[in-house]
Amino acid sequence: MRKSRIRLFAATGVALAALALTACQDGTGTTDEGASESTATATTDTSSGTSSGASKGDATSNEHGQAGGTDAGGGSTDAEKAGNTGSTGKGSDKSAATGTGTGTGTETRVACNGSNTTVTAQPVSRPVNHMLITVKNTGSQPCDLTYYPVLRFDEMQWVPQPVEASQPQSVVGIDPGQSAYAGVLLASADGSGDGGTTGHKLTVGFQGRTPNSDGGPSATPSLPAKGVYYDSTLAVTYWQQSMEDALTY
C-alpha cells in the first residue's frame, strides 16, 4: 500500500516536474517564437523593404532607362532626321550641282560658218582702204571662230595673208545674237601695191580647229554695186571680238 502511494507520489512529482518543464519550455518557446516571429518580421520587413526598394529602384532605373532610351531614341530620331535632311540637302546640292554642271559643262559649242551666221562686208571710210567683215550668230548655240577668214574675190587664185600681229590670245566665241569681226586691208595707202583690180563677188571661208582646215559652209556677203578695189597688199586680220580691234591694223 505504501509502495503504491510512493509510486503515486513519484508519478505525481514526475508529472508536476514535466508540467513545470513544459511551462518553462512553453515560456521559452513563446519567447523564442516571439523572437523568431520578430526576426522573421524584421527579415520580412527588411526583405520587403529591400524588395520594395529594389523594385522601386528598378522601376526608377527603368523609368530613367526608358527616359534615357526615349532621349536616346529622340536623339537618334533627330540624328536620323538631321541625316535625312543632310542626305536630302546633299541630294539637292548634287541635283543642283548636276544641273549647274549640265548647263555649263556640257554646253555644246559649234563652229561658226555660213550655216549658222549672217555675214556682211562693208567698206569703211576710216582707216582708208579698209573693209569690215561682220559675222552674227543666228543659231541657238554659242559658236567659235577660229584663226581668220579665208577671202576670195571673184575667181582669185591666191589667198590673202593674215595680219599676224592681230592674232588674239584665245578663240573668238559668239553667243546667239552676238557678233564678231575681221578687218580687211584692201590696198596700200601709199600705192606700193600692184595688180590692182575691182572685185564684185566675195566669198568668206571659215577654218576648222586646225589651220587651213575646212570649217563648214562659206558665206557670200553682198558687195557695193560698184565693187571693191584691192591690190596685191590685200590682207585680213584674225577674228576679233570687237569692231575697234578689227579696224586697228
pLDDT in tens, 11-65: 544 444 444 444 444 444 444 444 444 343 333 343 344 434 343 444 344 444 4
Q: Do 154 and 201 touch, CB atoms closer than 8 A? A: yes
Residue ranges per structural domain of the chain:
1-107, 110-246
58-82 mean pLDDT: 41
Gap between the Cα atoms of 48 and 109, Å rounded: 89
Tell me if 132 sits within 8 A of 243, measured CB to CB.
yes
CB of 218 closer than 8 Å to CB of 114: yes
Beta strand pairing status for 179-185 and 130-137? Answer: antiparallel
**Burial classification of residue 244, based on how many CB atoms lie within 10 Å of its CB (0-12 exposed, 13-18 middle, 19 or more buried):** exposed
What distance in Å separates the CA atoms of residue 96 and residue 93, rounded to the nearest whole number? 5
- Which one-letter DSSP state was computed for residue 213? -
- Looking at every residue in the chain, the average pLDDT score rounds to 72
CA 37 to chain centroid: 80
Using pLDDT thresholds of 50, 70 and 90, give the confidence band for residue 106: low
What pLDDT, on the 0 to 100 scale, is given for residue 95? 32
Choose the CATH number for 110-246 among 1.10.3470, 3.40.50, 2.60.40, 1.10.10. Answer: 2.60.40
Q: How confident is the model at residue 192, as a pLDDT?
A: 87
Which pTM value belongs to this model?
A: 0.58
Let me know: does 143 contact 170? Beta carbons within 8 Å: no
What's the pLDDT at 190?
87
Q: How far is CA 18 from CA 4, 26, 184, 228, in A?
A: 20, 12, 152, 161
Cis omega (within 30 of 0) for bond into 127: yes
What is the spatial distance between Cα 61 and Cα 227, in angstroms, rounded to a whole number? 104
Residue 51 identity: S
C-alpha cell at 158: 591666191
Query: Across the strands, what pairs with 190?
Result: none
pLDDT computed for residue 107 by the predictor: 67
